[in-house]
Amino acid sequence: MEMSHLISLLILLSFETFGDSLRFPKNFKFGVATASYQIEGGWNASGKGENIWDRLTHEHPDWVKDHQNGDVACDSYHLWKQDVEMLKYLNVTFYRFSLSWSRILPSGFSNYINPDGVRYYNDLINELLKNGIEPMVTLYHWDLPQPLQEVGGWPNPLLAKYFEDYAKIAFELFGDRVKTWITFNEPPEVCESGYAEGANAPCYKSSGIGDYMCGKTLLLAHARAYHIYDKLYRPKQKGKVGITIDAIWAEPKTNRIKDIKAAERQMQMDLGWWAHPIFSKSGDYPEIMKNRIGNLSKAENFSSSRLPQFTENEIRFIQGSFDFFGLNHYSSWLVSDLKIPVNAPVSHWKDVSVLMQQDPKWKPSAATWLKVVPWGLRKLLNWIKKEYNNPPVYITENGFADFGELNDFGRLDYLKGYLNALLKAILLDGCNVKAYTCWSLMDNMEWRDGYTLKFGLYYVNFTNPKRTRTEKASAEFYKTIIETRTILEDLEQVIVL
Q: Decide: is 387 part of the binding site for ligand BGC (CB under 6 A).
A: no
The span from the CA of 493 to the CA of 497, in Å, is: 11
Spatial CA neighbour of 436 closest among 375, 479, 393: 393
Does 185 participate in binding ligand BGC (rule CB under 6 A)? Answer: yes
Measured from the CB of residue 328, what is the shortest distance to ligand BGC in angstroms? 6
Choose which of 204, 400, 418, 439 interacts with ligand BGC (CB under 6 A).
439
SS3 396: strand
> Which residues does the annotation mark as catalytic?
397
402 near ligand BGC, rule: CB under 6 A:
no
The region of 168-176, 185-193, 228-236, 460-468 touching ligand BGC under the rule CB under 6 A is: 185-193
Give the residue closest to ligand BGC by C-beta: 35
Span from 71-79, 183-191, 208-216, 472-480 in contact with ligand BGC (CB under 6 A): 183-191
Q: C-alpha angle with apex 109: 104 to 113, nearest 5 degrees?
A: 35
Q: Which of 383, 455, 459, 462 binds ligand BGC (CB under 6 A)?
A: 455
- As measured in angstroms, the least distance from the Cβ of 245 to ligand BGC is 11
Residue whose CB is less far from ligand BGC, 146 or 398: 398
CA dihedral 8, 13, 18, 24 (to 10 degrees): 0
Residue 305: CB minimum distance to ligand BGC, A: 28
> Taking the complex as a whole, how short is the minimal distance between the CB of residue 445 and ligand BGC, in angstroms?
8
Lay out the site mask for ligand BGC across 35-64 (x = CB under 6 A, - = otherwise).
x--x--------------------------
* Residues 303-332 within binding reach of ligand BGC (CB under 6 A): 328
Buried b (16+ CB within 10 A) or exposed e, 476-492: bbbbbbbeeebbbeeee
Nearer to ligand BGC, 72 or 209 (CB): 72
Taking residues 265 to 294 in sequence order and writing x for each that binds ligand BGC by CB under 6 A, - otherwise, the string is ------------------------------
Establish whether the linkage from the previous residue to 465 is cis, with ω within 30° of 0.
no
Stretch that binds ligand BGC, among 61-69, 184-192, 280-288, 409-417 (CB under 6 A): 184-192
Distances (CA, A) of 134 to 93, 177, 228, 385: 6, 9, 22, 26
Closer of 192 and 259 to ligand BGC (Cβ): 192
Considering beta carbons, is residue 336 or 398 the nearer one to ligand BGC?
A: 398
Type of residue found at 103: R
Q: What is the 3-state secondary structure (H, E, C) of 298-343?
A: HHCCCCCCCCCCCCHHHHHHHCCCCCEEEEECCCEEEEEECCCCCC
Which of the ranges 181-189, 203-211, 225-233, 473-481 carries the binding residues for ligand BGC, by CB under 6 A?
A: 181-189
- The distance of closest approach from Cβ of residue 333 to ligand BGC in the complex, given in angstroms and rounded to an integer, is 15
With CA atoms as reference, report the closest residue to 262 among 339, 373, 347: 339
Give me the least distance between CB of 367 and ligand BGC, in Å please. Answer: 7
Output phi, psi for 363, to 5 deg.
Answer: -65, 135
CB 488 within 8 A of CB 423: no
- For 366, other C-beta atoms within 10 Å of its C-beta total 18
- Of the pair 14, 368, the CB lying nearest ligand BGC is at 368
7 φ, ψ (degrees, to nearest 5): -60, -45
Of the candidate residues 186, 197, 351, 387, the single one contacting ligand BGC (CB under 6 A): 186
Distance CA(473)–CA(458), nearest Å, equals 9
446 contacts ligand BGC (rule: CB under 6 A)? yes
Contact pick of 54, 83, 246, 443 for ligand BGC (by CB under 6 A): 246
Provide the minimum distance between the beta carbon of 89 and ligand BGC in the complex, in angstroms, as a whole number.
22
Q: Whole-number minimum distance, CB 446 to ligand BGC, in Å?
A: 5
- Smallest gap from Cβ 107 to ligand BGC, in A, equals 24
75 binds ligand BGC (CB under 6 A): no
Question: Nearest CA to 485 among 432, 436, 414, 417?
Answer: 436
* Contact assessment for residue 76 and residue 469, using Cβ atoms and an 8 Å cutoff: no
Interface with ligand BGC: number of residues (CB under 6 A): 11
- Nearest to 184, CA basis, from 142, 239, 153: 142
Is position 397 an interface residue for ligand BGC (rule: CB under 6 A)?
yes
C-alpha 273/C-alpha 429 separation (Å) is 25
Question: Could you say which residues in the range 109-168 bind ligand BGC, by CB under 6 A?
Answer: none
Counting Cα atoms < 13 Å in the Cβ hemisphere of 102 gives: 28
Choice between 259 and 408, CB closer to ligand BGC: 408
Q: State how far the Cα of 455 lies from the Cα of 94, in Å rounded to an integer.
A: 18
The single-letter DSSP state of residue 183 is E
Q: Which residues bind ligand BGC (CB under 6 A)?
A: 35, 38, 185-186, 189, 246, 328, 397, 439, 446, 455
